[in-house]
Structure 1
Amino acid sequence: MASKTLVVPQASQALDMLKFEVAQELGIQLSPDGYNGNLTTYHAGKIGGSITRRLVQIAEQSLGGSSQNWR
């Protein structure tokens, strides 16, 4: 079961900013009030997948540039 509890609660604002940034890059309009009930599953998946890719890239850079060190 997924949990929305953040390990670092201060990261909430940064994650929201990232969500809006990624959506804008993809040309997807998000509601500033937080309600996105009109968002299709396809578009929500595109945003989530792009955020995940970006977070993995950030983690790889902070670990020394590549995930190949872990394989």
Structure 2
Amino acid sequence: MRELGGIARVHTSRYGDGAAHLHLFQFARPLGMLQLRGSNLPLWDDVLPRLPEEVWAGSARTIAAAMAKGGGTAHV
């Protein structure tokens, strides 16, 4: 996510819902948006305007490629 530029921090959260499985979420906090810190970051996803599909897809490709640099294949 940091490969996108303009990202101050990447926050990781996990949720188990009390059963034998795991939900893992990563949230990128934009540079300079301190109001998004902590538990507020996931809530902003409901408030901020949606990105155009081509921007969203381009970001997903950038993140996948960066994750695959250490080995593996980027699937988007």
Query: Which has the larger strand fraction?
Result: 2
- Settle same-fold status: TM greater than 0.5: no
Q: TM-score normalized by structure 2?
A: 0.37
Q: Greater share of helix residues, 1 or 2?
A: 1
Task: Tell me the TM-score normalized by structure 1.
Answer: 0.39
